[in-house]
Amino acid sequence: MSLLIYEKSAPGRRAANLPRLTPVEAAVKVRIPAKYFREKEAELPELSELDVVRHFTRLSLKNFSIDANMYPLGSCTMKYNPKICERVASLEGFSSLHPLLPQLRGGGMLTQGALEVLHETERWLGEIVGMDAFTLQPMAGSHGELTGMMLVAAYHHDRGNRKTKVIIPDSAHGTNPSSAAIAGYSVVTIPTNAEGGVDLAKYEAAMDGEVAAVMLTCPNTLGLFERDILKIAELAHQRDALLYYDGANLNALLGQCRPGDLGFDVVHVNLHKTFATPHGGGGPGAGPVGVKARLIPYLPTSIVVKREDGSYALEYDRPKSIGYISSFYGNFAIILRAYAYMLLLGREGMRRVSENAVLNANYIQARLKARYALAVDRACMHECVFSASRQVEHGVHALDVAKALLERGLHAPTIYFPMVVKEALMIEPTETESKEQMDELIDAMLEIAEAAERDPAKFQALPQNTTVGRLDEVKAARDMCFKA
Amino acid sequence: MGANNVYFTKDHEWLSVEGDEATVGITEHAQQALGDITFVDLPKVGKVVNAHDPLLVVESVKAASDVFAPVAGTVSAVNEKLTASPELINQAAQTAGWLCKLKPFTPAVNELMTAEQYEAFLQEN
Amino acid sequence: MPYIPTTERDRTAMLQAIGVTDVAALFADVPASVRISGLNLPPGRSEVEVYEYLNQMSHRNTHDLIGFLGGGYYDHFIPACVDALASRSEFYTAYTPYQPEASQGTLQAIFEYQTAICRITDMEVANASLYDGGTALYEAAMMAIRLTGRRKILLDSGVNPIYRNILYSYTRNLSVDFVEIPAIHGQSDRERITAALDDKTAAIILQNPNFFGAVDDFADVIEAAHQQGCLSVMSVYPVSLGLLKTPGQMGADIVTGEGQSLGLPLSFGGPYLGFMATRMAHVRKMPGRLAGATRDANGRRGFVLTLQAREQHIRREKAMSNICSNEALCALRALIYLSWLGKGGFKDLAHICAQKAEYAKTRLSAIPGVEVKKSAPTFNEFTIELPCDASDVVSRMIDRGFAAGFPLGRYYKGMENYLLVAVTEKRTREQIGLFAEALEGVL
């Protein structure tokens, strides 16, 4: 059984090797009265450095990771994280910069390189998605969604519009309605039609003068391009409702078409998806938000501007701004990695990404559709969505398919959404997986489909060869043990 | 409404009437759909609700479900046993797993179904 | 083509399996009117070219100033093993641990991190991370509102002004009523706070040490708040907890803070680490992910994300927060850092910082015209009053190679001559001496 780091503690052991105080420094009397001191020392473990290193090294070996395993997770875009981007992020000239420097008089001139990174990233992203300006402050995709909704609210408020609702398709990721609600809107859900798009008739009926915005993902969470997008945009704009683009699936459109040209007014992109920054086990990510010109006045403070002499500065005097979304300029080291990635790809690289992402997903779809029920029988884009309904007939659920894949060293596809597909299996290979790797996934899934018919009972016990088997989630929720 | 009758809603709640007191719970179907229940956010005694108002939340590992008041009324009692044993709802949704009582309550038959009607409703959907 | 392994042969085979003749056919749903032939961007570059380009850009930043600049973000030394371990690709290229069997490394680390935060703050449960100290404070305010059903929040002006800006920005469209309580002589105004606490107040928000560097014991304020049925939210500087009375000891209800000082580089503003901890009674209203311990069918201990019914992917518009991706890798760094420091190191680090700051105070107070503010005890950051504009002094100190501190006048009217000076274990006695000499020369 693996021990917690606290269970490896041995009194008297120490890793910390801190600088010693000189006699002169040690001689001064720290004037903090005793009552302001903590009562007991914090019970942090006592370990040698080797203990610490072994503990975390061994822990790391219990993880799946892109560098070791394929993650065909729909809507996550688990593409390869280039190592050169890691090297760039560790450049001392960037990593050691204090964020308050630009707020000192003359301090902006100390951070020109960093400001240029921000400015250039905004410019590149604007070109890629067809937006006029960007903010890099949001620190995750859902943070970008909230920022986008706040921009929508500021826009309407400024125009004296009374808008209370946001339209969201039922296929949307949970962060969409969650973000809309936090921004103060009530959510109107529109169903998905049989072809996998927004039900246009119901959408038209729901569109009225009180709709502030429509939040869409395109391609949607079924991996399908929204065929009626131009009509949807037109209907929204007729009522001065803004069209919001959830960029989770941007990988399918890079270099092929731009959300701005489809009619979107506000866009967020996920740097940790489309732009290859590492997932980190759950973050840090970044969710920059792009806007069309009419929303620029509302962008968060501060913004990076390029002066006539070519130098960069931060502008704080922005009377209509929605204010501060993050403490500074966003997750700078993540932005830097994404910028490096964009530089590597360049113009033709972007197009190759989407071409291969879409090719790969269609290949998997074509080879699996004989054994798995396709949610919608149409050419997909960068991800394909199946339902495990045929396997459920034998008592094998999407969750069981997922665990069976883990057994084979492949991470499962996305299974907990979209909510419109029962027993969903959402597969996104990305462009960085080889045909051999995809064939391994395909063969595994075909084998699983076979086993589901032949021997469904054995699925319950899977996975067996991971570090733990299926965990009792009910016990976790009931015991509520959140610390050692 | 008659005494000792049980009614059902489209949101899979049941309402059992005994004189001027009504008991509310979720149906067998609902409990199955939710999975193992891990927590019930019981309402405060004295809470006043209109019909269709959110009454409380039932949580499982994979879902959180609002339970709506089938009729208007005042919460007069809650099933304290559910705090330590939320799994009672899975074990006996329509008896020992009752959620709360409403007293007084406003009798209203309009959107309530009988057991047969609820069964038919389940078959349809 | 970087990172794309597909060859012509692969492509042909795949197109055949799909049943189309070329990839363009797969984009048929995209309207012709919006198709582009390519983006207006330069061609892709090689690794070496990209590295050199960005390396040059990094040199256009000045990073060799001797730093006495704090304001919530501190230049602490990051032990080599934090970088070495956190840069293992099994950690940083891993996904969110939704499939726990494939993610026990990440999940156990989150559990250990949650434990560490509880132990340094003396609180009962901590979440897996939020974006940063500022947004964490906003989440705490919202949590207090959810828990009490009240909409008024008292806000001590000693709370980081950037955090206060975030609070105002996020709540602009919500009916939340902030009442700011100005500090007196850099300390919390207890009289005004107690007078303002009432049965409409959801919470009082405090910071320790506050933005001026002042250290306090808020147990009495928190007690007064509790008597009115209000909650207390405290933002804390984690390194200071090696020495100072913890928010848990003071009776705080929700604790947040910026975890940058726990092994994260300054990195021009991010990624950082928002931490949050609270009492078990409030856990269901806490935002963010939570890792919990459990067992598998064979009785082996394992960890899973739990109480997910609070989160957006289940609760959607009724979720506690919309947070999805957070700062997991940063939390891992903080855990490694705290494990490396250990019980003794955590205490010693705080002691070293406090001593060095006190030494710096003696050197600076010897300069004619400089007054070190003494109205409150301080930890490693303190306020000095200069005989002239602090912004101007800072600008001249930059020319002499020092980031001398933060001019408080930028956020506090009337404090234009005040400078906030921070000292960490990285500052040597020589550097402190040179700093004092340079400052004397500038004045």
Categorize the per-residue pLDDT at B5 as very low, low, confident or very high, splitting at 50, 70 and 90: confident
* Closest residue by Cα to residue C132 from A148, A314, A108, A137: A137
Tell whether C429 lies on the interface with A, counting CB pairs under 8 A. Answer: yes
Are A256 and C27 in contact (CB < 8 Å)?
yes
From chain B, pick out residues whose CB is under 8 angstroms from the CB of C306: 61
Q: Rounded distance, CA B99 to CA B80, Å?
A: 9
Out of B108-112, C159-163, C234-238, C279-283, which region has the weakest mean confidence (pLDDT)?
A: B108-112
**Domain match, A268 and A141 both:** yes
Name the A residues in 187-226 with CB < 8 Å from any B CB. Answer: none
Name the fold adopted by C80-337: Aspartate Aminotransferase; domain 2 (3.40.640)
Range B34-42 average pLDDT: 92
Out of C182-196, C304-318, C389-403, which region has the weakest mean confidence (pLDDT)?
A: C304-318
From chain A, pick out residues whose CB is under 8 angstroms from the CB of B36: 474
Residue A75 in any domain: the answer is no
What is the per-residue pLDDT for A163? 96
What is the per-residue pLDDT for B4? 54
Q: How many domains does chain A have?
A: 3
Tell whether A161 lies on the interface with C, counting CB pairs under 8 A. Answer: no
User: Which of C165, C296, C395 is opposite residue A104, by nearest beta carbon?
Assistant: C395
Range B57-66 average pLDDT: 86
User: What digits encode the pLDDT tens for the residues C360-372?
Assistant: 999 999 999 999 9
Are A178 and C321 in contact (CB < 8 Å)?
yes
Q: Rounded distance, CA B37 to CA B31, Å?
A: 8
Q: Rounded distance, CA C141 to CA C150, Å?
A: 11
Q: What would the two tokens of residue A155 be?
A: 């826009």
Tokens 């935002």 — which residue? C287
Q: Rounded distance, CA C311 to CA A287, Å?
A: 19
Q: Rounded distance, CA A97 to CA A160, Å?
A: 42
* Closest residue by Cα to residue A58 from C109, C110, C293, C96: C109
Separation in Å, CA of C421 to nearest CA in chain A = 13
Separation in Å, CA of A181 to nearest CA in chain B = 17
Burial level of B84, CB count in 10 A (0-12/13-18/19+)?
exposed
Tell whether B83 lies on the interface with A, counting CB pairs under 8 A. Answer: no
Domain boundary among A343, A373, A405: A343
Interface of B with C (CB under 8 A): 38-39, 41, 59-64, 66
Q: Rounded distance, CA B77 to CA B103, Å?
A: 8
What is the per-residue pLDDT for C240? 98
Is the link from the previous residue into C271 a cis peptide, with omega within 30 of 0? yes
Q: How many domains does chain B have?
A: 1
Tokens 């919202």 — which residue? C142
Average pLDDT, chain C: 95
What CATH code is carried by the domain that includes residue A138?
Answer: 3.40.640.10
**Domain match, A25 and A113 both:** no
User: What digits encode the pLDDT tens for the residues C4-24?
Assistant: 999 999 999 999 999 999 999
Strand stretches in C5-151, DSSP E:
66-67, 125-126
**Domain match, A367 and A335 both:** no
Q: Are A364 and A356 in contact (CB under 8 A)?
A: no
Q: Are A294 and A107 in contact (CB under 8 A)?
A: no
Tell whether A446 lies on the interface with C, counting CB pairs under 8 A. Answer: no
**Cβ neighbours around A150 below 10 Å, total:** 24
Range C123-145 average pLDDT: 96
Q: Rounded distance, CA A262 to CA B27, Å?
A: 46
Q: Which residue of A has its CA nearest to B86?
A: A478
Residue A34 in any domain: the answer is yes
Q: Are A187 and A165 in contact (CB under 8 A)?
A: yes
Q: Rounded distance, CA C97 to CA A55, Å?
A: 19
Q: Which residue of C has its CA nearest to A33?
A: C377
The proportion of chain C whose per-residue pLDDT surpasses 70, expressed as a percent, equals 98
* Closest residue by Cα to residue B68 from B86, B84, B50: B50
User: Subunits touching B (CB < 8 Å, at least 3 pairs)?
Assistant: A, C
- If you write DSSP's letter for every residue of A118-151 in order, what string do you get? HHHHHHHHHHHHT-SEEE----SHHHHHHHHHHH
Per residue of chain A (484 residues), give pLDDT as tens: 689 999 999 999 999 999 999 999 999 999 999 999 999 999 999 999 999 999 999 999 999 999 999 999 999 999 999 999 999 999 999 999 999 999 999 899 999 999 999 999 999 999 999 999 999 999 999 999 999 999 999 999 999 999 999 999 999 988 899 889 888 899 999 999 999 999 999 999 999 999 999 999 999 999 999 999 999 999 999 999 999 999 999 999 999 999 999 999 999 999 999 999 999 999 999 999 999 999 999 999 999 999 999 999 999 999 999 999 999 999 999 999 999 999 999 999 999 999 999 999 999 999 999 999 999 999 999 999 999 999 999 999 999 999 999 999 999 999 977 888 999 999 999 999 999 999 999 999 999 999 999 999 999 999 999 999 999 999 999 999 999 9
Using the CB atoms, write b or e for A458-470: b if 16+ within 10 Å: ebeebbeebbbbb
Tell whether A475 lies on the interface with B, counting CB pairs under 8 A. Answer: no
Q: Are A41 and C347 in contact (CB under 8 A)?
A: yes
Range of the domain at B84: 5-116
User: Which of A112, A181, A281 is opposite residue C329, by nearest beta carbon?
Assistant: A281
Q: Which residue of A has its CA nearest to B37?
A: A474
Range of the domain at A228: 85-343
Position C308 pLDDT exceeds 90: no
Sequence-separated contacts (24+) of C166-169 with Cβ below 8 Å: C166/A323, C166/A324, C166/A325, C166/A326, C166/A327, C166/C134, C166/C135, C166/C137, C166/C138, C167/C137, C167/C138, C167/C141, C167/C205, C168/A323, C169/A300, C169/A322, C169/A323, C169/A324, C169/A325
**Domain match, A155 and A281 both:** yes
Are A478 and B59 in contact (CB < 8 Å)?
no
What is the per-residue pLDDT for A173? 87
Categorize the per-residue pLDDT at B2 as very low, low, confident or very high, splitting at 50, 70 and 90: very low
Separation in Å, CA of A159 to nearest CA in chain C = 15
Tokens 């499939």 — which residue? C99
Q: Rounded distance, CA B79 to CA C86, Å?
A: 48
Q: Are C250 and C222 in contact (CB under 8 A)?
A: yes
Are B39 and A473 in contact (CB < 8 Å)?
no
Position B1 pLDDT exceeds 60: no
State the best of C127, C325, C327 to mutate against chain A, taking most chain A CBs within 10 Å: C325
**Domain match, A162 and A292 both:** yes
User: What digits encode the pLDDT tens for the residues C81-115?
Assistant: 999 999 999 999 999 998 999 999 999 999 999 99
* Closest residue by Cα to residue A245 from A271, A275, A267: A267
What CATH code is carried by the domain that includes residue A362?
Answer: 3.90.1150.10
Q: Rounded distance, CA C311 to CA C285, Å?
A: 10
What interface predicted TM-score (ipTM) does this complex get?
A: 0.96
What is the per-residue pLDDT for A475? 94
Residue A94 in any domain: the answer is yes
Residue A230 three-state SS: helix
Residue B124 in any domain: the answer is no
From chain C, pick out residues whose CB is under 8 angstroms from the CB of A101: 69, 403
Q: Are C338 and C330 in contact (CB under 8 A)?
A: no
Name the fold adopted by C66-76+345-442: Aspartate Aminotransferase, domain 1 (3.90.1150)
Domain ranges of chain C: 66-76+345-442, 80-337
Categorize the per-residue pLDDT at B3 as very low, low, confident or very high, splitting at 50, 70 and 90: very low
Q: What would the two tokens of residue A186 be?
A: 């009530």
What CATH code is carried by the domain that includes residue B27?
Answer: 2.40.50.100
What is the per-residue pLDDT for A1? 66
- Crossing angle of helices C161-171 and C133-148, in 10° steps, is 50
Tell whether A26 lies on the interface with B, counting CB pairs under 8 A. Answer: no
Q: Are C251 and A70 in contact (CB under 8 A)?
A: no
Are A474 and B38 in contact (CB < 8 Å)?
yes
Residue B87 in any domain: the answer is yes
Residue C192 three-state SS: helix
What is the per-residue pLDDT for B109? 67
What is the per-residue pLDDT for C175? 87
Residue B122 in any domain: the answer is no
- If you write DSSP's letter for every residue of A183-226 in order, what string do you get? TTPEEEEE-B-TTSSB-HHHHHHH--TTEEEEEEESS-TTS---
Q: Are C305 and C161 in contact (CB under 8 A)?
A: no
Amino acid of residue B10: K
Residue A218 in any domain: the answer is yes
Category of A255 on φ-ψ map: left (φ > 0), alpha (ψ -120 to 50) or beta: left
Range C37-42 average pLDDT: 93
From chain B, pick out residues whose CB is under 8 angstroms from the CB of C318: 64, 66
Residue B123 in any domain: the answer is no
Domain boundary among A43, A60, A77: A60
